[in-house]
Structure 1
Amino acid sequence: MDEIKIITPEDLQKKLEAGEKLELVDVREDEEVEEGMIPGAKHIRMGDIPAHLDYFDIDKEYIFICRSSRRSENVCYYLQEQGYKVRNMIGGMLQWTGETK
């Protein structure tokens, strides 16, 4: 199995502050995202990902986010097997120091 590409919360924050257009997907549960999501992230619960494959564009890279980065890593493996370009934000929202909404 190919390794999953990663991004650190710090690097992600820098890219967002630089105005980069990124495809962020938060795979946490509803009650978790109520505590705050990275602005611009799309919320698709981990369990709903298989039913939402039509949301993903094979030509774009998606950055996946969860609380600690374990669930998002699982989602990354799943989508990478389907041929999608993915990146896991390591450390998850526990390590995120940027703004949330």
Structure 2
Amino acid sequence: MKQMTAKKVETLLNEGKTLNIIDVREVNEVSAGKIPGAVNIPLGLVEFRMHELNKSKEYIMVCRSGGRSGRATQFLESYGFNVINMAGGMLAWYGKVE
């Protein structure tokens, strides 16, 4: 499973890179703040919404601490998606939130 640090994600965003970030936390968790531009697909819905994703794009998966996003990363990888887990999740995120 590929991983990326929260700091690296923040650096890429600050450089103006377009990232496809999927936040797999529950809706009530995301309401407290998410990475700008992140799309919320709760972990329990990933299987049912993966048809919305494009296998030619790279996705960065995010959750609170990295566990749920790791499971989502492994699940999507098994279906041929190009996904990266953000290590440490939002607990490691010090960038902007919306």
Which TM bucket (shorter chain)? over 0.9
Equivalent of residue 76 in structure 2, options 68, 71, 79:
79
Cα distance between partner residues in 1 of 2:8 and 2:79:
26
Give unmatched runs, 5+ long, in structure 1. Answer: none
Quote how far apart the aligned CAs of 1:55 are: 1.0
* Identical aligned residues as a percent: 39
- 1:50 alignment partner in structure 2: 47
Residues 44-93 of structure 1 show CA distances to partners (whole Å, capped at 9, x for unaligned) of 00000011011110101100000000000000000000000000000000
1:6-45 equivalences in 2 (<5 Å): 6-45=3-42
SS in 2 for 1:82: coil
- 1:93 alignment partner in structure 2: 90
Query: Structure 2 length normalisation: TM-score?
Result: 0.98
Cα distance between partner residues in 2 of 1:54 and 1:18:
30
Cα RMSD after superposing both structures: 0.5
SS in 2 for 1:28: coil
Equivalent of residue 56 in structure 2, options 59, 64, 72:
59
SS in 2 for 1:59: coil
SS in 2 for 1:10: helix
SS in 1 for 2:10: helix
- State the aligned residue count: 98
Cα distance between partner residues in 1 of 2:27 and 2:49:
16
SS in 1 for 2:60: strand
